[in-house]
A and B are shown apart, each in its own frame.
Chain A
Amino acid sequence: MAKTKTPAPAARPASNGSSGSANGTDPITNLPDRRAGERTYDAIVIGGGHNGLVNGAYLAKNGLKTLILERRHLVGGAAITEELRPGFWFTTFSYALSLLRPEIIHDLELTKHGFMPLLMPSTFAPMENGDYLLLGQDHGENLREIARHSRHDADAYEAFNHDVLRVCRAIKPLLDQVPPDIFSTDPEELIALATLGSRFQSMDRKVVHDAVRLLTGSAADFLDDYFESEILKGYLASSSIIGTKVGPYSQGSGLVLLYHLLGEHDGEFGSWAFHKQGNGGFTKVLARAAQAFGAEIALESPVERVITKDGRATGVALIDGTEFHAPVVVSALDPRRTFLELVDPRELPTDLVDAIERFRFQGTSAKVNFALDGAPRYPALGDRTDQFRGFTNIGPSMEYLERAYDDAKYGWYSKRPYIDGAIQSTIDPDMAPPGKHVMSTFIQYAPYHLKGSDWDAEKERFGDTVQATLESFFPGFGDLVLQREIRTPLDIERTVGLSEGNIFGGEFLAPQMWLFRPAPGWSQYRTPIDGYYQCGSGTHPGGCVMGAPGKLAAGQILKDRARRGSTARTKVGAGA
């Protein structure tokens, strides 16, 4: 045949879109030799979570010799996929994609390395009376389905979406910008503030007001303005509590709701996708991209501390004593670790240390992952299983969610928890053997601090509570369970390193966002230590698999370098 043969996928490290290598069989191999040779870099990134990888990739792309140091045997942090049972791939923690900044996909050329956000064609919300709300990809059918529950809510849903989209359009640019420094007198900062102000000024009044209502108010108040159907409100309000110790009736839940609506996927706001092979598949794509730009990734390399000299960061020391040197050190960990563990707090201004000590983590989420012998059954849908191709939302009313929160308020996990279920294996055949499934369930509430007990003692009972709740919606569920993996907030803290198991690297509360994330005056990714930067989820715009902190921090580092480079040149010029 005339057509020339291309080599088999196995022969190529990064193949354009081939999924064959997505199964986790392509370890990050280029560990730098710790004993000898080159240990000096232009930049060192601590933490190979998605933000560390994004940050390192941008730095490498811009010509910096970059080393990313990851404590564990795999990259991804909270976004990993693990084969816990032969053929069964668990999204151990994070399980779906939406807020990832589109710019990152393009800048880091992720489509070359296997980026593949799979469409979730449906969302399923079972009800306690056996009925359900099932939304799909057909707009007209969705409105009929909503009308089945409330005739009023069909066009109210349109109005809600329209209003919310307008807010999203207005707010979205903030996700892609370094927050202004309102405490600075630097002319550049004043210009940034003025630009921001004028942007708000040109906005429609209703949009600004809706934005403020969402950013400061409760999800319940906002949703009650539009809807009467409990199931619809329960489903929408579920996004207002994720990762945060609030109920839908708490002020502040609106902000969490807005964050989840701000995600976008192929240009559609509020739409979520399963990345091929889970969010761990995604972070592998990031790692390949970072390596393609020349970044080195070292696994099993826990950093003990940042080395400083005369108020400047000069490198890092691993727990085993190995030192690596670089004029730029970036912490991709959360603020507590960045400021209170990796450096000596005595090197920092007291008000910053105070602010970080006050910074609230208090994780309230857990995961229970299942290997299943088959798809669960929902009695009202008979043998259908297509309802499981997206999220399965067990939060049938705002009251259900609020009662789940009540337990947490008083220091215990929910007796009937909110559950966000996802059976990615229904659409991604590489997640489980044919006919079998993996089900990720994200649980709230599971407060980090339990009153009168601890997570090591309660772990199994907590798993039983979750499974019993699932059983009540899907009779026979227990018989399908081949294996159960429970990940409490304590496990999240121990395994990923996120303090108190907070999934966002610090709570989504107004006083901890934007200008104040992680602390007033320190929201621009720098730290008081020259050359030491921060880029984890505890910086603006926060948690979720978004990549924005990593990217924005890289921008600041490059800007500072350029500035320093030009002053250095000026000095040289002056001397000559």
Chain B
Amino acid sequence: MIRTTPFHERTAAANVSGLWEHWSGYLVARKYDQSEKFEYFAIRNSAGLFDSSPLYKYRIHGPDAEAFLAGALARDVRTCAVGHGQYTAWLDDRGYVVEDGVIFRNAVDDYLLTSAEPNFAYFDALIGRARVTIEDVSEASAVLSIQGPKSREILACLAPEVAGLPYFGLTAATIGGADVTISRTGFTGDLGYEIWVPGDQALAVWDAVTEASEGRGVLPIGSIALDMARIEAGLLLLDVDFQSSRFAWTDAHRSTLIELGLGWMVRDLAADGRAFIGRAAIERELRDRTSRWKLTGLVFDWRDYDRHFDEAGLIPPKDHTPIDAEYYIYDDSGNQLGYATSQMYSPMLQRHIALARVPLDLAKPGTRVKMELAVSHRYEYFDAVVTRLPLYNPDRRTA
């Protein structure tokens, strides 16, 4: 039977839409009420509460933990101070991305790694003789994410510690009588926090946070609103924007770190002597320029978009519901250049946008490409402009 998260009693009461989905074996709300767009605006204008409990969580600790992770993860975990976290990825030895996640450093030799899919065996197999223990603590804590411009002031009423918490910082706190850990992280590209709480105290935290949010326009948000926010923020989703190299059938379904636009994680390669998995491949890729494409943002030309539909006698649809499917990108002569993996109409940007892969020589911001979309049962070619990610990036996210 499908599992429910520790917040279920509250999310079930709040979800009057009756729309749920299965995420990693758990029941989570798609939207709570009639409008996912309304929930999305809570993220951008107030704050949204999202139940991220289904994430996989691994505690990795022991005297060799730092050295172990420095070799297992692409981003240099040694630069992650105690009380901080890092968005990271792990690669195979050909430089293809296995998965991504956030790693938190709770103590010098004690880390917590999150991932979307199970990775226990993967990391366990890498331990060898290192003095490291990996524990699956996925069920030990529930995670309540609060995302949006008001998240800081609301949470600070409950936990003054967050007032000065830096981007990707981590702090212990007490909320609703529960001992929690708060990280300044999230999947919306906005100011936001995640509260990590033992499952049996989850409801107390939900209640305290909802009470503190009273009258401030805060809403529980479902997966659709989250998806909208993450596309604007250029945050990648496993099995939508990329596949795990472990389980892909061919290299056409694998992506390197550089190709995904995450090369900044290994920006300081020259200064960093780590021997991590995939390093040699990255160096080769950079040296020989073998990247097949780069994942970037696309912003549609709105005039051209409207024209296609106007000419077909239709009202141009401005549907914000994300489409997590492939669409193909062409040059003016009809040669296929790449493909898009996520697209939507962005209410904040007032444009249709997409996350897409294009060849390196076309990845320069400002380059014009064509995307194939169906209008009146036939394909037409829409003008779009390559745009640097994130497409929406408010200062408050990191400030």
Residues 1-24 of chain A: 1 if any B CB is under 8 Å from the residue's CB, otherwise 0?
111011111001001111110000
Given contacts A137-B34, A267-B315, A435-B214, contact A3 B396 (CB under 8 A): no
Q: Are B396 and A1 in contact (CB under 8 A)?
A: no
**From DSSP, what is the main secondary structure of chain A's interface residues?**
loop
B35 and A121 contacting across the interface, CB-CB below 8 Å:
yes
Question: Which B residues, 124 to 150, have Cβ-Cβ distances below 8 Å to chain A?
Answer: 149-150
Q: Say whether B394 faces chain A, with CB atoms less than 8 Å apart.
A: yes
Q: Shortest CB–CB separation between residue B267 and chain A, in angstroms?
A: 7
- 0 or 1 for each of B344-356: is its CB under 8 Å from A? (1 = yes): 0101111100000
Q: Let me know if A1 and B315 touch, CB within 8 A.
A: no
Which residue of B41, B84, B351, B396 is within 8 Å of A119 (Cβ)? Answer: B41
| Any A CB within 8 A of the CB of B45 | yes
**Is A260 among interface residues, defined by CB-CB distance under 8 A?**
no
Cβ-defined contact, A20 with B45, below 8 A:
no
Assuming the A-B contacts A17-B392, A169-B315, are A8 and B45 also in contact, with contact meaning beta carbons closer than 8 angstroms in the complex?
no
Known: A18-B149, A267-B345. A106 touches B45 (CB 8 A): no
Complex Cα distance A141/B345, Å? 24
Given known contacts A2-B268, A102-B350, A276-B45, A429 and B217 CB-to-CB distance under 8 angstroms: yes
A435: B residues at CB distance < 8 A: 214-215
Picked from B217, B316, B395, the residue with its CB within 8 Å of the CB of A6 is B395
B32 CB, nearest partner CB in chain A, Å: 11
For B84, what are the chain A residues with a Cβ–Cβ distance below 8 Å? 1
Contact check, A16 vs B395: say whether CB atoms are below 8 A apart: yes
A residues near B76, Cβ cutoff 8 Å: 2
- In the assembled complex, the CB of A74 is this many whole angstroms from the nearest CB of chain B, namely 23
Q: How large is the interface on A (under 10, 10 to 19, 20 to 34, 35 or more residues)?
A: 35 or more
Q: Which B residues, 296 to 355, have Cβ-Cβ distances below 8 Å to chain A?
A: 302-303, 315-320, 345, 347-351
Q: Is A428 an interface residue (CB 8 A)?
A: yes
What residue in chain A is nearest B219 (Cβ atoms)? A427
Report if A136 contacts B (CB, 8 A).
yes
Q: Which of A109-117, A444-452, A562-570 contacts B (4 or more CB under 8 A)?
A: A109-117
**Cβ-defined contact, B80 with A1, below 8 A:** yes
Contact at A267–B38, with CB atoms within 8 Å? no
A138–B34 touching, CB < 8 Å: yes
Determine if B398 is an interface residue (Cβ-Cβ < 8 Å): yes
**Chain A CB within 10 Å, residue with most, of B303, B348, B351, B392:** B348
Q: Is the CB of A15 within 8 A of B395?
A: yes
Residues of A within 8 A of B348 (CB): 17, 111, 116
Contact A268 B318 (CB under 8 A): yes
Task: Give the residue name and chain of the A residue nearest to B189 (CB).
Answer: A17
Q: Which residues of A contact B44 (CB under 8 A)?
A: 17, 116
CA distance A12 to B393 in the complex (A): 14
Nearest A residue to B316 via CB reads A267
Could you say which residues of chain B place their CB within 8 Å of the CB of A5? 167, 398-399
Q: Let me know if B395 and A18 touch, CB within 8 A.
A: yes
A residues 385-412 near B (Cβ < 8 Å) are: 386, 389
B253 contacts the other chain (CB 8 A): no
Q: Which residues of A contact B167 (CB under 8 A)?
A: 1, 3, 5
Across the interface, B149 reaches (CB within 8 A) one of A20, A111, A118, A138, namely A20
Q: Mark A427-464, 1 if CB is under 8 A from B, else 0.
A: 11100011110000000000000000000000000000
In Å, the complex CA distance between A169 and B44 comes to 31
Contact with B along A354-398 (1 / 0, CB 8 A): 000000000000000000000000000000001001000000000
Other-chain contact of B38, A2, A18, A119, A268 (Cβ < 8 Å): A119
Tell me whether B365 is interfacial, beta carbon within 8 Å. Answer: no
Contact indicator B317/A267 (Cβ below 8 Å): yes
**In the complex, are the beta carbons of B399 and A118 less than 8 A apart?**
no
Q: State the CA gap A5–B303 with chains docked (Å).
A: 36
In chain A, positions 66-113 with a C-beta closer than 8 Å to chain B are 102, 105-106, 110-111
- Which of A15, A18, A115, A165 sits near B315, CB closer than 8 Å? A165
The answer on a CB contact under 8 Å between B315 and A269 is yes
B106 at the interface (CB under 8 A from A): no
A188 at the interface (CB under 8 A from B): no
A155 within 8 A of B: no
Task: Say if the beta carbon of A266 comes within 8 Å of chain B.
Answer: yes
Is A136 within 8 A of B150, CB to CB?
no
* Residues of chain B in range 59-89 having any CB-CB distance to chain A below 8 Å: 75-76, 79-81, 84, 86
Q: Given A119-B35, A121-B34, A266-B347 in contact, is the A427-B41 Cβ separation under 8 Å?
A: yes
Contacts of B319 in A (CB 8 A): 267
**Cβ 8 A contact of A105, one of B350, B392, B394, B398:** B350
Which B residues between 238 and 296 are near A, CB-CB below 8 angstroms? 264, 267-268
Residues of B within 8 A of A7 (CB): 395, 399
A2, A119, A169, most chain B CB atoms within 10 A: A2
Q: Would you call B392 and A429 a contact (CB within 8 A)?
A: no
Residue on B nearest A437 in the bound complex, by CB? B215
Does B216 lie at the interface of the complex (its beta carbon under 8 Å from any beta carbon of A)? yes
When distances are taken between beta carbons in the complex, the residues of chain B under 8 Å from A386 are 33
Please measure, in the bound complex, the distance between the C-alpha atom of A508 and the C-alpha atom of B309, giving whole angstroms: 31
**Shortest distance in angstroms between B11's beta carbon and chain A's nearest beta carbon?**
18
Tell me the chain B residues, 73-115 only, with Cβ under 8 Å from chain A.
75-76, 79-81, 84, 86
A102 to B75, alpha carbons, bound, how many Å? 43
Does the CB pair B345–A18 fall under 8 Å?
A: no
Contact B215 A434 (CB under 8 A): yes
Chain B residues near A119 (CB-CB < 8 A) = 35, 37-38, 41, 347
Q: Is B366 an interface residue (CB 8 A)?
A: no
B261 to chain A, nearest CB (A): 15
Q: Give the chain A neighbours of B350 by CB distance below 8 A.
A: 102, 105-106, 110-111, 115, 266
Kindly state the separation between the CA atoms of A7 and B395 in the bound complex, as whole angstroms.
Answer: 8
Interface pair B81/A266, CB less than 8 Å apart: no
Q: How distant is the Cα of A386 from the Cα of B33 in the complex, in angstroms?
A: 11
**Given A3-B167, A138-B35, A429-B216, 14 more pairs with CB closer than 8 A:** A1-B79, A7-B395, A17-B348, A106-B302, A111-B350, A119-B38, A137-B38, A266-B347, A386-B33, A389-B38, A426-B217, A427-B45, A429-B217, A436-B215
| Cβ contacts A to B, 28 pairs, < 8 Å | A1-B81, A1-B84, A1-B167, A2-B86, A2-B264, A6-B398, A6-B399, A7-B399, A17-B394, A102-B302, A102-B350, A106-B303, A106-B350, A111-B349, A115-B350, A117-B347, A118-B41, A121-B38, A137-B34, A266-B347, A276-B45, A427-B38, A427-B45, A428-B46, A429-B45, A429-B215, A429-B217, A433-B215
> Which 10 residue pairs are nearest across A and B when measured between Cβ atoms?
A267-B318, A434-B215, A435-B215, A137-B35, A137-B34, A429-B217, A138-B34, A17-B394, A121-B38, A429-B216
Binding site for A on B (CB under 8 A): 33-35, 37-38, 41, 44-46, 75-76, 79-81, 84, 86, 149-150, 166-168, 214-217, 264, 267-268, 302-303, 315-320, 345, 347-351, 392-396, 398-399
